[in-house]
Amino acid sequence: MARAIQVIGIEGLPEVRPGDDLVALLLGALAAEGLALEDGDILVLTQKIVSKAEGRLISLSEIEPSAFACLVAHQMGRDPRLIEVILREARRIVRMDRQVLLVETPHGFVCANAGVDRSNVGEGRVALLPRDPDASARTIRHEIQRRAGVEVAVLITDTFGRPWREGLTEVAIGVAGLAPLKDYRGQRDRFGVPLQATVVAVADELACAAGLLMEKLAGIPAAIIRGYGYEPKEGTASALVRPPERDLFR
């Protein structure tokens, strides 16, 4: 039998609101589809529904932009209140050029607009990244274990750009229950030659696999990946963040 992985979209979730019990909504949506989580599944959630459940939403009407935010907004032709929110969610500006505001978030992620996003949250509002996406993933994992009695790994993902390549891809910003990196260094290939510099970001590859179904307009904010033999581990998305001393693009 060939090795195979399944990616299953979770549909039918209602609009998630601050304070909602996301695990209950997910288990309910799965049950309504006749699906159930199984031991060894990876549950992948878009950042947006986690942020909504955690109340990480801001109305731009409540924001008083700073002088610097106004200046940047003017240069970029953007809303000063949005720029203000982005700056508050950033700890370092990596590039500010040609409509792009690329920052490092407090988590260490380098992404456009600090992950602040206007889509699917309603006019005049923006969603922020979860404050601690690893903790969010851990809580969801434990609640699923407690309520459904299954051992799953959980990934929380967002859609990031990258240098040199067009198009965004999904990346893991929160990890619980699996090792996000797979390290082949020191192992030998089939000719006996040692593998070099081969550490694979499996959490990001899993995020991309789920991203194929979790499309912006498809109403699928979560997915199950079944059949991938991951290494069980507490896990953290910070393992995916390159430390400054190894970063050639600061």
Give the range of 55-63, 64-72, 132-140, 165-173 binding its own copies by CB under 8 A: 165-173
Among 14, 39, 149, 165, binds its own copies (CB under 8 A): 165
Contacts (CB under 8 A) with its own copies, residues 209-238: 209, 211-213, 215-220, 228
Interaction pattern, residues 107-146, with its own copies; x per rule: CB under 8 A: --xx-x-----xxxxxx-----------------------
The answer to whether the beta carbons of residues 237 and 171 sit under 8 Å apart is: no
Q: Can you spell out the DSSP letters for 23-36?
A: HHHHHHHHHHTT--
Instruction: Find all residues with CB under 8 Å of 211, minimum gap 6, and list them.
Output: 157, 159, 169, 170
Q: Is 250 helix (H, G, I), strand (E, B) or coil?
A: coil
Q: Should residue 2 be labelled a site residue for its own copies when binding is judged by CB under 8 A?
A: yes
Interaction pattern, residues 27-66, with its own copies; x per rule: CB under 8 A: ------x-x-------------------------------
- How far apart CA 197 and CA 92 sit, in angstroms, is 28
To its own copies, the closest distance from the beta carbon of 30 in angstroms equals 9
70 or 161, CB closer to its own copies?
Answer: 161
24 or 100, CB closer to its own copies?
Answer: 100
Give the range of 20-28, 85-93, 134-142, 157-165 binding its own copies by CB under 8 A: 157-165
To its own copies, the closest distance from the beta carbon of 149 in angstroms equals 21
49: amino acid identity, one letter: I
Q: Should residue 76 be labelled a site residue for its own copies when binding is judged by CB under 8 A?
A: no
Q: Should residue 195 be labelled a site residue for its own copies when binding is judged by CB under 8 A?
A: yes
Among 14, 67, 77, 248, binds its own copies (CB under 8 A): 248
CA distances to 4, 5, 32, 81, 103 from 69, rounded to whole Å, are 49, 46, 46, 7, 14
To its own copies, the closest distance from the beta carbon of 119 in angstroms equals 5
- How far apart CA 220 and CA 210 sit, in angstroms, is 10
To its own copies, the closest distance from the beta carbon of 67 in angstroms equals 25
Q: Are strands 110-112 and 199-200 parallel, antiparallel or unpaired?
A: unpaired
Number of residues that bind its own copies (CB under 8 A): 79
CA distances to 41, 206, 211 from 189, rounded to whole Å, are 29, 24, 31
- How far apart CA 42 and CA 230 sit, in angstroms, is 9
With CA atoms as reference, report the closest residue to 56 among 151, 162, 153, 174.
174
